[in-house]
Amino acid sequence: MSVIPDNSTTVGQVPAADGTLRILRYLAGRPAPVAASAIARELGLPRSTVYHLLTTLAAHGFVLHLREERRWGLGTSAFELAGGYARQQPLARIGRPLVAGLSDALGESAHLAVMSGGDVLYIVEERAPRRPALVTDVGVRLPAHLTASGRAMLAALPREQVRALYPDTSAFPDRTGLGPRTPRELRELLRTVRARGFATEDSEVADGLRSVGAAVRDHTGWPIAAVAVTWADQELDEKVLAEAVAETASVLESRLKR
């Protein structure tokens, strides 16, 4: 007769997998990158084991090593995992009626997007009637640094994470010839976003269209998504739109934390 091992036995047979998952969970809960020694201390793991696992995770893009600061943080492959979860039902299902309500209230098109590496990926799209055609749609990716949604999420990330995503000028594709082209320009733009509490873009994704976006954060403060509205009418009050977008993002945050 065969005996099925319990979960504790199974986990004990794969300590590397257990340690890897614990490290990723620990880093996901930190507001900024941390030293390997702190990881080892907090998790009760040998330093040699932690360094080995971090090196392997870095080779696959799940963590990044900030050499000058001697700290470790989540890498772009971890963003892909987070985006994969976000694209599934919970976030889209809860966010869809809120985004639809925002679009109806403002009479403009509204979206919900998540980060995926250096891009934003749109997971909910509500098109307002008799409004200009948009390049955004469910499943569409756009460079995060050009979109209001992406800027809102980038501004909420630790600065070290932003530097890892945008190390040099090669990380700045453009669509209309507008937008930041260097890490310095992006840092200045994100500084403004943090001060205002919302992000904007004007003709940087498509000529004549403007957007405003606000980040949706999880219980640790990590940006898991962003709500945005796009419009063409230059007479509309950007501040009014920003307040409505920020309110929708706040409601979505509270519902996700229940």
Tens-digit pLDDT profile for residues 65-122: 888 788 998 887 776 666 565 555 578 889 999 999 999 999 999 999 998 888 998 9
Q: What is the pLDDT of residue 1?
A: 39
Tokens, residue 236: 């509309």
Q: What is the pLDDT of residue 88?
A: 54
Q: Which domains does the chain have, with CATH numbers?
A: 7-74 (1.10.10.10), 79-256 (3.30.450.40)
Q: What is the pLDDT of residue 124?
A: 93
Q: What is the pLDDT of residue 7?
A: 39
Average pLDDT over residues 166-188: 94
Average pLDDT over residues 8-14: 44
Which of 82-91, 124-133, 184-193, 248-257 shows the lowest mean pLDDT across its residues?
A: 82-91
Residue 22 CA to residue 25 CA, distance in Å, equals 5
Residue pair 80/117 in contact (Cβ under 8 Å)? The answer is yes
Tens-digit pLDDT profile for residues 198-220: 999 999 999 999 999 999 998 88
Mean pLDDT computed over every residue of the chain = 87
Residue 105 CA to residue 193 CA, distance in Å, equals 24
